[in-house]
Amino acid sequence: MDSLGSVVNSLHAGQVIAYPTEGVWGLGCDPFNEEAILMLLKMKGRSENKGLILIGSDLKQFSAFIEIDKYKDKLLEKWPGPHTWLVPPRENISKLIIGNNQNIALRLSSHKEVIELCEKFEGALISSSANKENSPTLESPKQIRDAFPGISVLEGNLGGLNHPSKIQDLITGEVIRG
C-alpha cells in the first residue's frame, strides 16, 4: 500500500487513487480535474449520466459546490458519518459530478483515513466504490491493484460498516438508498 503523501501526490498529478472508507474501498480523484474524473469513469465503465459522490472531512470543503450556510443545520443532523446527502448544487457544477441529476451527492466522513486524506489534499474528493460497473465491490488492495494496475492505494482499514452509505435527499427527506 502507499503512504498518505504519495497518494496525495497522485491526486495532484491528476490520477485516480483508491482508499478505505466506512464500508467499502473507494476510488477517488480531484473533483476539479475533469480529465481525472473522465479517467475514473472509464476505469469503472460508469456512465457520465449517473453522477458521483463527493467526500470530505470538513464542511468548508464543499463550499465551491453548495451554499453551506443555507443547508448547514440540516446537513449536520447526520454528519459526520456514513450518510450521503443529495443537495441542490451551486451553478456551473460539472455535469461529470452531478450527471443527469438535479442535486449533488455529498458525504462528510468520520473515517480516520478519509479525514487524513482530505485534510492533506486540502479538499473534497470524488468518491466511488472500487469496482467495475455492475460488478461486486473489490475487497482488498490486492484485488484493486489487479483490477486497476498502477493505481495508488492508501494504507488503512475499512471502518466496519458492512454496506454503502445511506443516500437521502436533503430537501424532500426521501431515502434513495437505505
Number of CB atoms found within 10 A of residue 131's CB: 22
pLDDT of the residue at 30: 98
User: What is the tally of structural domains in the chain?
Assistant: 1
Upstream peptide bond of 80 is cis (omega within 30 degrees of 0): yes
Structural domain harbouring 21: 4-177
pLDDT at 163 over 80: no
* pLDDT tens digits along 93-144: 999 999 999 999 999 999 999 999 999 999 999 999 999 999 999 999 999 9
Mean pLDDT, all residues of the chain: 95
Residue 29 · residue 37 · CB < 8 Å: yes
β-sheet with 166-169: strand ranges across: 152-153, 17-20, 25-29, 125-129, 53-56, 104-108, 83-87, 166-169, 175-177
pLDDT > 90 fraction of the chain, expressed in percent and rounded: 89
pLDDT at 1 over 90: no
pLDDT of the residue at 101: 95
CA 42/CA 38 separation, integer angstroms: 6
* 10 three-state secondary structure: helix
pTM of the model: 0.94
For the record, the C-alpha cell of 161 comes out as 460498516
Residue 126 · residue 31 · CB < 8 Å: yes
pLDDT of the residue at 159: 87
Q: Give which of 23, 43, 18, 11 is closest to 155, Cα–Cα.
A: 18
Check residues 83 and 161 and name the one with the higher pLDDT: 83
* pLDDT tens digits along 27-67: 999 999 999 999 999 999 999 999 999 999 999 999 999 99
Banded pLDDT at 14 (limits 50, 70, 90):
very high
31 - beta bridge partners? none
Domain at 76, CATH number? 3.90.870.10
